[in-house]
Amino acid sequence: MKKVGVIGCGGIGGVHLSQYAKVDGLTLAAVCDSDPAKAQKAGETHGVPFYTSHQEMLEKESLDAVDICTPPAFHYQAAMDAIDKGCAVLCEKPMAVSVEQGKAMVEAAARKGVFLMAAFCHRFHEPVALAKAAIESGKLGKVVSFRNRFAGKFAGVENTWFSKKEISGGGNFMDTTVHSIDLFRFLTGEVVNVVAKASTSIPGISVEDTGVMLLESENGTIGTLECSWLTPNSENIVEIYGDRGTAIVDYNRGGVRIKGADDADWGQPELTLPEWDHRFHLEIQHFGDVLNGKASPKVSGFDGLRAIEIIAQAYASVNK
Ligand SMILES: NC(=O)c1ccc[n+]([C@@H]2O[C@H](COP(=O)([O-])OP(=O)(O)OC[C@H]3O[C@@H](n4cnc5c(N)ncnc54)[C@H](O)[C@@H]3O)[C@@H](O)[C@H]2O)c1
């Protein structure tokens, strides 16, 4: 049983925390939040010691791993201190706020021989896994086009850390498109070219609220990745088009629709897992399985770093 400390007990921290009682091979041993009330609440809810400083938690608890769920600017120091103690790290997206930080995290983990996992939960979303299986089976043929829109209405974003570049590292590309980039790489291969456009319409913020990235994979797939914090009723969708078929992961309606060139109708593979939080459950279970030697990593710190590198290229393209 590996002992984990969760750092950051806010929105997504709460989702992660609720998984530990349900996964095998990991036990929640401590929690940390810089806000004393949040630290205390999480500690009391889960019956574990609570801290307001991750350094103190690392000193006092003998942890095997940490799960970092703080805003992005705080990922780096928490990860580096944990790695220094020999802890494995599961780190929320974006893994860091700069390429330099991301590289240092990957290098430090490699030097210490500890597992650094970027928390790209969509890789564990069952409809995405089914779409990947369809690609790998050859049902879609050569994948030529990929389109992903993750968007919605983020009311009040101007009052949150998400729109403060010094904490978030950027705008909606860092918040949302970071997932899209990972999905594109996961489903179609490594990115070799990046161009982007971005705009800001929300008063009082200096980061992009809306944007499009155009990616090219080494296999020649062209991807269009869209994000916006401004658009109610938005599609949230991954569309994968090959020369022999199509797969559509529909986050709004649920599930995945797949149609081969010769199929009369769309097929909808039955899902075995609930639509929403199973991806966090499977993500954290996978972290545990790797730590317990039961699985080899499906996602790593390198994947976290690549997403940040691609976002940096996108910002360079926007600012050209
Ligand atoms: N994978 C996903 O689908 C998903 C969804 C939402 C957020 N996220 C990511 O998770 C991270 C957290 O986002 P959130 O929405 O939970 O934010 P949040 O603001 O709701 O929670 C962050 C928590 O971290 C605490 N905190 C801040 N600095 C700290 C520090 N130095 N040490 C310890 N605790 C600290 C805050 O007090 C707060 O409780 C971000 O990187 C975000 O991008 C991922």
- Structure confidence by residue, pLDDT tens digits, 88-99: 999 999 999 999
218: three-class secondary structure by DSSP: coil
Report d(CA 97, CA 102) in Å as an integer. 8
The rounded mean pLDDT for the chain is 97
Q: Tell me, in angstroms, the distance from the centre of ligand 1 to residue 96's CA.
A: 12
Is the overall model pTM greater than 0.85, yes or no?
Answer: yes
- Residue 109, CB-side half-sphere exposure with 13 Å CA sphere: 26
For the chain, list the domains and their CATH numbers.
2-119 (3.40.50.720), 122-273 (3.30.360.10)
pLDDT at 273 over 90: no
CA–centroid distance, residue 5 to ligand 1 (Å): 15
Q: For 129-187, how does the pLDDT look when each residue is reduced to its tens digit (9 = 90+)?
A: 999 999 999 999 999 999 999 999 999 999 999 999 999 999 999 999 999 999 999 99
pLDDT value, residue 21: 95
Band (pLDDT 50/70/90 cuts) for residue 272 is confident
Q: Which of 52, 92, 167, 227 to mutate to test the pocket of ligand 1 (most atoms within 8 A of CB)?
A: 92
Please tell me the predicted confidence (pLDDT) of residue 121: 97
For ligand 1, what atom is nearest to the CA of residue 7? 33
Query: For residue 175, which atom of ligand 1 is closest to its CA?
Result: 43
Whole-number pLDDT of residue 183:
98
Rounded CA separation 315/311 (Å)? 6
pLDDT for position 129: 97
pLDDT at 290 over 80: yes
Our answer on whether the CB atom of 11 is closer than 6 Å to any ligand 1 atom is yes
Is residue 320 predicted with pLDDT exceeding 90? no
Does the C-beta of 69 come closer than 6 Å to ligand 1?
yes
Q: How confident is the model at residue 211 (pLDDT cuts 50, 70, 90)?
A: very high
- For residue 280, the ligand 1 atom closest to its alpha carbon is 1
Q: Is the pLDDT of residue 274 over 80?
A: no
Residue 277: per-residue pLDDT: 77
**What are the tens digits of pLDDT across the range 36-82?**
999 999 999 999 999 999 999 999 999 999 999 999 999 999 999 99
Report whether 73 contacts 79 (CB < 8 A).
Answer: no
Beta-bridged to residue 67, according to DSSP, are 6, 90
Q: What confidence tier does 104 reach under pLDDT thresholds 50, 70, 90?
A: very high
Res. 222: pLDDT tops 90? yes
Cα–Cα nearest to 215, from 120, 297, 147:
147
Q: Looking at beta carbons, which pairs linking 32-41 to residues 24 or more positions away fall under 8 Å? A: 32/5, 32/6, 32/7, 32/8, 32/56, 32/57, 33/7, 33/8, 33/9, 34/70, 38/9, 38/10, 39/9, 41/9
